[in-house]
Amino acid sequence: MKKWLAIASIFTLVGTTSCKQPAQSGNSQDTNIASGDTLTGDISLSGAFALYPMVVRWADEFKQLHPNVRIDISGGGAGKGMTDALAQVVDLGMVSREIYDVETEKGALGFAVVKDAVVATINVKNPHFAEICAKGLTKASAQALWDNQYSSYGEFLGTNSDVPVHVYTRSDACGAAETWALWFGKRQEQLQGTAVYGDPGVSAAVQKDRVGIGYNNIAYAYDMRTHKPYEGLAVIPIDVNENGQIDEDEKFYENSADLIAAIGDGRYPSPPARDLYLVSNGVPEKPAVVEFIKYALTEGQKYAIETGYIPLPETTINESLKKLNP
């Protein structure tokens, strides 16, 4: 998925949502950075599919201000992003999970830049689609699904249905799998199911399998041009109060704007909602890299909602900005 920014736009998810949240611009003075005519250099990033669309959008806008900066972005999963950043193969790793202590000890410095969530996805042609969406997922049922405890949807629904369950997970080390597993007290390596590479791979597998069930980051479950789930996909609601049904105040999955609002106000639990990070090996020194991080944390926040993400609160933004000047 590697490409120079000039051709990266094919992966950009754009659009505007009906849900309005204020852009976090309390630090706008920090974005009065070096003139776009004078800032030069290269910036390389790799890692989480979850953050990829947002970084592509930021890079596109950043280059409008600083056309002499060249930006190279590649996917590969959060594990690759962290590994590449620590090895200084790239300037910044895109990481969609918390930074581990062992990684910090090796020099990893994480900058929270935006928020999103992992959601459960299902094929809309599933024979029990309506029943599944009415029942929703609890921590216990999600754990059972990704522990191969259910061989049929009847076991999940408490009926005599023998329709088989096909569970999908990720084959690559990634924040989406780690965050999804963390919701019900597990780790990625404990998730069972057919392992598929990448966010696009999981969504494609579920789209092709009428009895398939998986999990995806928001940007790979919803089409940001329409704000609806991608064709053939639906998002399974979470039964937050675990009363065996999806109540009216738990119904916010029809479009990405409603889901983003629910993440922002806490109705969607965290995890599977989480912060996303840009990670460097130590404090960045390259001027272009420093200014790109500042841009993402300030003016760049206004593009979060329309790209399918949630802007950070000002306190989190300030914490990340302080790391640039320890």
pLDDT digits (tens, 9 = 90+) for 239-291: 999 999 999 999 999 999 999 999 999 999 999 999 999 999 999 999 999 99
pLDDT digits (tens, 9 = 90+) for 129-142: 999 999 999 999 99
Measured CA to CA, the distance from residue 319 to residue 257 in angstroms comes to 27
> Is the model's pLDDT at 24 over the cut of 50?
no
Average pLDDT of the segment spanning 104-127: 97
Whose structure tokens read 């088989």? Answer: 164
> Is the model's pLDDT at 14 over the cut of 60?
no
- Dihedrals phi, psi of 276, to nearest 5 degrees: -110, 150
Confidence grade of residue 326 (pLDDT, cut at 50, 70, 90) = confident
Q: Nearest to residue 65, comparing CAs of 17, 94, 32, 20?
A: 32
Confidence grade of residue 37 (pLDDT, cut at 50, 70, 90) = low
- Which domains are assigned to the chain? 19-112+280-322 (3.40.190.10), 118-264 (3.40.190.10)
H, E, C per residue of the chain: CCEEHHHHHHHCCCCCCCCCCCCCCCCHHHHCCCCCCCCCEEEEEEECCCCHHHHHHHHHHHHHHCCCEEEEEECCCHHHHHHHHHCCCCCEEEECCCCCHHHHHCCEEEEEEEEEEEEEEEECCCCCHHHHHHHCECHHHHHHHCCCCCCEHHHHHCCCCCCECEEEEECCCCHHHHHHHHHCCCCHHHCCCEEECHHHHHHHHHHHCCCEEEEEEHHHHEECCCCEECCCEEEECECCCCCCCCCHHHCCCCCHHHHHHHHHCCCCCCCCEEEEEEEEECCCCCHHHHHHHHHHHCHHHHHHHHHCCECCCHHHHHHHHHCCCC
Whose structure tokens read 């460097």? Answer: 280
Average pLDDT of the segment spanning 75-104: 96
pTM: 0.81
Measured CA to CA, the distance from residue 122 to residue 133 in angstroms comes to 9
Average pLDDT of the segment spanning 207-217: 97
| Average pLDDT score over the chain | 89
Q: What is the pLDDT of residue 25?
A: 37
> Is the model's pLDDT at 115 over the cut of 50?
yes
Which residues have C-beta within 8 Å of that of residue 224, sequence separation ≥ 6? 13, 14, 15, 53, 256, 306, 307, 308
pLDDT digits (tens, 9 = 90+) for 141-155: 999 999 999 999 999
Confidence grade of residue 20 (pLDDT, cut at 50, 70, 90) = very low
Q: What tokens appear for 293 in the block? A: 């991080």
115 pairs with which residues across the strands?
275, 310
> Is the model's pLDDT at 194 over the cut of 70?
yes
Average pLDDT of the segment spanning 11-21: 30
Average pLDDT of the segment spanning 183-199: 96
